[in-house]
């Protein structure tokens, strides 16, 4: 269980969420690698992994940066950080240093990092603009902030539907809102970056279509297994809504013509002026 001072984000930090994050990383890891390449991250760099979770991206970054590099992995969850600390360091990789911090109040030396990466974190923070300002301060001149985050959760859809997708969206968005999560954070990030002294070099859409049998189909399936019971426990979804959504999702999995659209995300690359 998380400790009393281990503030949890809305999806939790238990083993099931850890497993979901691992699957999610396996599915989207290729996008991260190419994002880092375009951001210019490479051997010898010091890169901050903002909201690193159990370190799935941090480990890949450590491989990319090599022994002369450094990964600074920051999260509010001690449980996730403990997992990173207990993992065996791979030879030839950058060391991963963990820090328990609220990313909205980053405590890092100014002008010290070559880059920072934040994936699926800013939409969970009530004050994402503070995160952007903190990262901008920690970057060296010419340092790069690469972000992957949601543009519009409302645009998640699947077809065909008898209304299950509308129920799902309503419940998720209500729960996120109660946690002050901003599921459309991507819409404002480029402006906030510019205001924080970062020049936005690239804004790219990232969206995929999943069909039954695709590995991507497992992404919502694992999200539902971990999050829907939580929505019911916390009163954001009734048992009837839970059964409606899951039944519709299971039936879709049997329909060769079914598909779902991932909620659109943005990949952004910005450079400190
Ligand atoms: C969806 S997970 C993403 C983890 C990781 N970035 C990845 O791509 O696998 C979101 C992470 O953000 C962390 N988080 C959310 N709000 C935070 C905050 N205010 N300060 C620090 N970490 C935070 C959570 O603890 C969780 O580990």
Q: What's the confidence (pLDDT) of residue 13?
A: 83
| pLDDT given for residue 11 in this prediction | 83
Domain 15-153+181-208+263-272 belongs in CATH node 3.40.50.150: yes
Chain mean pLDDT for the chain: 95
Which tens digit of pLDDT belongs to each residue from 118-149? 999 999 999 999 999 999 999 999 999 999 99
Cβ atoms within 10 A of the Cβ of 237, count? Answer: 25
pTM of the prediction?
A: 0.95
Q: Is the pLDDT assigned to residue 66 strictly greater than 50?
A: yes
| Spatial contact of 55 and 93, defined as CB atoms under 8 Å apart | no
Q: How many CB atoms lie within 10 A of CB 209?
A: 11
Looking at residue 7, its pLDDT comes to 63
Contacts of 104 (CB under 8 A, 6+ apart): 125, 126, 127, 128, 130, 131, 134
The pLDDT of residue 69 is 98
Q: How sure is the predictor about 226, in pLDDT bands with cuts at 50, 70 and 90?
A: confident
Mutate-to-test residue for ligand 1 from 2, 3, 8, 9, highest number of ligand atoms within 8 A of CB: 9
Mean local confidence (pLDDT), 224-250:
96
On the question of pLDDT at 12 being above 90, the answer is no
Q: Which residues are CB-neighbours of 248 under 8 A, at least 6 positions away? A: 161, 162, 164, 165
Judge whether residue 186 has pLDDT over 90.
yes
Q: How far apart are CA 26 and CA 20, in angstroms?
A: 10
Regarding the beta carbon of 103 and ligand 1, being less than 6 Å apart is answered yes
Would you say the CB of residue 48 lies under 6 angstroms from ligand 1? no
Mutation pick for ligand 1 pocket among 75, 83, 98, 222 (CB with most ligand atoms within 8 Å): 75
Question: Is the pLDDT reported for residue 218 higher than 80?
Answer: yes
pLDDT at residue 2, rounded to an integer: 44
pLDDT at 1 exceeding the cut of 90: no
Percent above pLDDT 90 for the chain:
90
In 3-state terms, what secondary structure has residue 179? coil
Residue 77 has pLDDT above 70, yes or no: yes
Residue 5 has pLDDT above 50, yes or no: no
Ligand 1 centroid–CA 118 distance in Å is 9
266 contacts 206 by C-beta, under 8 angstroms: yes
Nearest CA to ligand 1 atom 1: 120
What are the tens digits of pLDDT across the range 169-178? 999 999 999 9
């Amino acid at each position: 269980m998380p400790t009393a001072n281990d503030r949890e984000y809305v999806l939790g930090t238990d083993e099931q969420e850890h497993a979901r994050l691992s699957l999610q990383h396996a599915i989207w890891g290729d996008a991260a690698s190419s994002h880092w390449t375009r951001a210019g991250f490479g051997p010898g760099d010091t890169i901050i992994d903002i909201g690193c979770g159990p370190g799935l991206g941090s480990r890949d970054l450590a491989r990319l940066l090599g022994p002369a590099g450094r990964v600074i992995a920051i999260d509010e969850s001690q449980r996730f950080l403990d997992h990173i600390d207990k993992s065996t360091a791979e030879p030839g990789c950058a060391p991963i240093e963990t820090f328990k911090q609220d990313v909205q109040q980053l405590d890092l030396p100014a002008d010290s990092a070559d880059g920072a990466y934040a994936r699926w974190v800013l939409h969970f923070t009530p004050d994402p603009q503070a995160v952007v300002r903190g990262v901008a301060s920690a970057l060296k001149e010419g340092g790069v902030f690469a972000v992957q985050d949601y543009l519009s959760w409302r645009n998640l859809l699947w077809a065909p539907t008898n209304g299950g997708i509308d129920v799902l969206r309503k419940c998720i968005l209500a729960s996120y809102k109660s946690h002050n999560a901003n599921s459309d954070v991507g819409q404002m990030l480029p402006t906030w970056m510019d205001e924080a002294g970062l020049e936005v070099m690239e804004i790219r859409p990232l969206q995929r279509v999943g069909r039954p049998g695709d590995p991507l189909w497992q992404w919502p399936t694992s999200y539902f297994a971990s999050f829907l019971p939580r929505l019911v426990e916390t009163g954001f979804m009734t048992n009837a809504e839970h059964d409606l959504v899951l039944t519709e999702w299971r039936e879709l999995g049997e329909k060769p013509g079914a598909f779902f659209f991932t909620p659109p995300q943005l990949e952004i690359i910005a450079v400190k002026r």
